[in-house]
Amino acid sequence: MFDPHQLLELTLKKQKLSENQLKELVFRVQTLFVMEPNVVSVPLPVQICGDLHGQFYDVVNLFKVGGTPEQCKYIFMGDYVDRGYYSLEVITLLYLYKIIYPNQLYLLRGNHESRAITQIYGFYDQCLKYYQHSSIWKGFIESFDYMPIAAIAGEQVYCVHGGLSPQCPLLDDVRIIGRAIEVPIRGALADCLWSDPTTKNMVEYFKPSDRGAGYEYGPKAVEEFSRSNGIQLIARSHQLAPEGYQFHFNQTCVTVWSCPNYMYKCKNYASIMQVDNHHNCNFLLFTAVDLHEKKPD
């Protein structure tokens, strides 16, 4: 019998689940993703989080700092896997919370929720090490294809992993993106997941990104998107913010970073952005649980 509460207890103890349990979990979560639109609407109050990158103990601590999904609503803006040592444990924990509290936790897609990227930065290798084949990785990757692209919190806070696309001046343009694909190098989906705000080189609208995918976007692009769509604030992640968060363009855009001591060496803070019923934002800051976390055997 598939008991998500029991599996949650095991996962919180970092115990390895069986292949059949993970396959059933992925199937059930993918079914939920399929029913969610490209842009999910989430009522306030809500807690908004950025990159997690496989740092399991820090994710467990995040829910101690901010409260469990039973206690409060969450939007996560992608990049759950890769870089850290425990990608599989992190994504399993989040998927179990999604199953148990489907209307309390929303998982948006990041650029690392991708076949190409996870084969380079750790998630594929961890799945192969644990199960001696790639079918568990393949199951998760296929479910990533159905993750929502963005969220609107309280009708005025636009949440997305990377940011804006010149192909999507309106929310309705994001709503019609064909998302059930591998993240491409070019196009609207790639822009939403790869783009970054910038103040360099006097960029006002859009400039192709040095990352090789997406764009750098400036204050005029944010201003026009926000005005056209009735948006008060754009929340995104995708870039390390040493203090846990960073505002851009006169506080019309904010980077939220939820991975403390990124890659176990950056010594940065992490944050949870709380948005209350009146659209006021407050940041819960936290540090890494264990600065000397060791790579598993």
pLDDT at 277 over 90: yes
Predicted local distance difference test score (pLDDT) of residue 237: 98
pLDDT band at 259 (very low <50, low <70, confident <90, very high): very high
Cα 128 to Cα 122: distance, rounded to the nearest angstrom: 10
Q: Which two tokens stand for residue 54?
A: 């496989």
Predicted local distance difference test score (pLDDT) of residue 185: 94
Predicted local distance difference test score (pLDDT) of residue 111: 98
Asked if the bond preceding 184 is cis, omega within 30° of 0, the reply is no
Cα 210 to Cα 229: distance, rounded to the nearest angstrom: 28
CA 189 to chain centroid, in Å, comes to 14
Residue in 112, 161, 238, 248 annotated catalytic: 112
Cα 191 to Cα 185: distance, rounded to the nearest angstrom: 9
Handedness of CA 287, 113, 70, 233 (dihedral sign): positive
Digit-coded pLDDT (tens) for 130-166? 999 999 999 999 999 999 999 999 999 999 999 999 9
Which domains does the chain carry? 21-286 (3.60.21.10)
pLDDT at 294 over 80: no
Predicted local distance difference test score (pLDDT) of residue 136: 98
Q: Which two tokens stand for residue 164?
A: 């804006």
Q: Which two tokens stand for residue 101?
A: 């509290």
Task: Count the Cβ atoms, other than its own, within 10 Å of residue 33.
Answer: 19
pLDDT at 297 over 70: no
Mean pLDDT for the stretch of residues 201-227: 96
Altogether, the residues listed in the chain come to a count of 297
Cα 50 to Cα 259: distance, rounded to the nearest angstrom: 8
Q: What is the DSSP letter of 135?
A: H
pLDDT at 200 over 90: no
Question: What percentage of the chain reaches a pLDDT higher than 90?
Answer: 96
Handedness of CA 75, 238, 123, 270 (dihedral sign): negative
Cα 212 to Cα 215: distance, rounded to the nearest angstrom: 9
pLDDT at 46 over 70: yes
Predicted local distance difference test score (pLDDT) of residue 276: 98
Cα 165 to Cα 188: distance, rounded to the nearest angstrom: 6
* Residue that wins the pLDDT comparison between 82 and 202: 82
Predicted local distance difference test score (pLDDT) of residue 296: 65
Residue 112 is a catalytic residue: yes
Predicted local distance difference test score (pLDDT) of residue 293: 60
Predicted local distance difference test score (pLDDT) of residue 290: 76
Digit-coded pLDDT (tens) for 98-123? 999 999 999 999 999 999 999 999 99
